[in-house]
Structure 1
Amino acid sequence: MPVVRLTCLFALAYFSFTTAFGESTATKSGWTVLFDGANTDAFRNYQSDTISSGWKIQDDALVRAEKGAGDIITKEKFGAFELELEYKISPEGNSGVMFHVTEDNPKPWQSGPEIQVQDNTAGHDPQKAGWLYQLYKADVDATKPAGQWNKLRILITPEKCAHYVNGVKYFEYVKGSDDWDQRVAKSKFSKFEGFGEATSGHIALQDHGDEVAYRNIRVRKFD
């Protein structure tokens, strides 16, 4: 069996194991902390070398606090990975977490698929928190109300991607599969050449004009 396939299968098996039984102390060294409440060194604004003052550290959280903060991305790129973070959205607020973002478009969502972050009770958007915007949706809603912390856990590998919100599995998909391509073709993203095709890119936090807070952001690479 090819080495790449073995690596992917190991990653999936490990992810299933830790989801079911929790994470042992020995495995924690695999994580890279992107934000621990102390600094924003792992991030910069999209198509910029620095991060704007509109993103502030408040109560150990990274907060989109001011108008014009702008979308921010990780300085590092990630291919196959597992991401964990907590978010707290403001009432009627909207934001998003994107992955495999490239910087050859005016906006990060024009290249990177977006995991929706929002107040589900607002009713201003047919999408829901934890969904993959316009592409995949869940039949359950495990989110807590606006103003409370929610935990988002995402697995992205060539053979399987999965979304979890507050420990509840939402759905799986295969990026680049026939099903994926058909869904993209029916979405607003079809007009952006190369949307969702990158196999590596930045992780982005969206400035959608509303206050949102993120904390305990960490990622684990699968080589």
Structure 2
Amino acid sequence: MGRITLGLKGTLLLGCLNGLMGCGDDPIIEAQECINGLTAQEADAGWELLFDGSSLEHWRSYQQATLDPGWAIENGCLARVGGGGDIISRRQFGDFELKLEWRIADSGNSGIFIRGDELGDSIHHSGYEMQILDNAGHWDARNPTHRAGAYYDMIAPDHDTTVAAGSWNQVHIVANGADVEFRLNGRVTASFTQGSPQWQALYAESKFTDRPRYGTLMRGHIGFQDHWDKVWLRNIRILELKPIKSSAQGR
């Protein structure tokens, strides 16, 4: 909750309590929804939790040594509870499988970045994004390459597999050499070969042409976007893969 009633006289606006609640009238996630853990099969295969519901040790703010309080643990979920900028994993990853679940506020917008560094003004200058969006409520859904599950501004999903805002969506990203695949709720929403002629053609028509390092890295940080809206993330887990020979060269 965000307000306390004082008898018959007005209300007192409470401040934000990191790890417990958001600000004002922001919805608050229920603790029973914030499930984090590996299955026995995932543990045996070598998967690792990047967020266990109680520690933020794997994350920090972009170009910062610590994590801005705009990102916090809310009843066991990682949440954007206030303005805090983008956040990134402390470690960098090359070839991997990444799984997580996200929930977005009504008409909300956010994103998941992979293979980014900190040399630009934002992680978007090098890493690329799997879009998080309330397709039904956010104006940006008018652009097909900006819809949930899209390889943002590059590849549009050929279907909408999202569930309603306020429900959980399952993400599975596979980055193996130059080959990358995005899956949302069990279906492929984007598949591409980083640096290939087809990728180059998409890049030439995108908003990223003034960012020469965009999409050139084969290893980098995972990141989550602060796009001013509340987003929750849970069960963030990763499996590092043995490197393979890339099927395409970077630019």
What TM-score do you get using the length of structure 1 for normalisation?
0.86
Residue 3 of structure 1 corresponds to which residue in structure 2? none
Whichever of the two has the greater Rg, that structure is 2
Q: Could you tell me whether the CA contact under 8 Å between 2:54 and 2:73 is conserved in 1?
A: yes
Q: Which of the residues 110, 114, 117 maps onto 1:99? A: 114
* Count of residue correspondences: 200
Residues in 1 aligned to 2:60 and 2:180: alpha-carbon distance in whole angstroms: 26
User: Which amino acid counterpart does residue 94 of structure 1 have in structure 2?
Assistant: N
Q: Does 2:52 match 1:33?
A: no
Counterparts of 2:115 and 2:108, CA distance in 1: 24
CA distance in 2, matches of 1:169, 1:103: 29
- CA root-mean-square deviation: 1.5
- Give the match's secondary structure for 2:99: strand
User: Within 5 A, what are the aligned runs for 1:153-164?
Assistant: 153-164=172-183
1:115 to 106, 115, 130: 130
> Is 1:73 paired with 2:92?
no
Q: 1:210 aligns with which of 229, 232, 240?
A: 229
Counterpart position of 2:17: none
**AA of the residue aligned to 1:166:** N
Return structure 1 stretches of 4+ with deviation > 6 angstroms. none
Shift of 1:180: 0.6
Percent of paired sites with the same residue:
37
- How much has 1:161 moved relative to structure 2? 1.4
1:146 offset after TM fit, Å? 0.6
- Which is bigger in relative contact order (C-alpha 8 A, separation at least 6)? 1
Structure 1 residue 162: deviation in Å?
1.1
Distance 1:187 1:38 in 2: 39
Q: How far apart are the structure 1 equivalents of 2:173 and 2:84?
A: 25
The Cα of 1:159 is off from its aligned counterpart by 4.6
Aligned-pair CA distance for 1:207:
0.4
Note the C-alpha offset of 1:137: 1.4
Given candidates 80, 86, 106, the residue that maps to 1:64 is: 80
Q: Which runs of 5+ in 2 are unaligned?
A: 1-37, 243-251
Question: Which of the numbers 59, 63, 66 marks the counterpart of 1:47?
Answer: 63
Aligned twin of 1:200 = 219
Using the alignment, how far apart are the partners of 1:112 and 1:172 within structure 2?
16
Distance 1:94 1:24 in 2: 30
Equivalent residues in 2 for 1:144-183, closer than 5 Å: 144-183=163-202
> Which blocks of at least 5 consecutive residues in structure 1 are unaligned?
1-22
Q: Decide which structure has greater helix share.
A: 1
Q: TM-score, normalised by structure 2?
A: 0.77
How far the C-alpha of 1:171 sits from its partner, in A, is 3.2
Distance in 1 of aligned mates of 2:43 and 2:196: 32
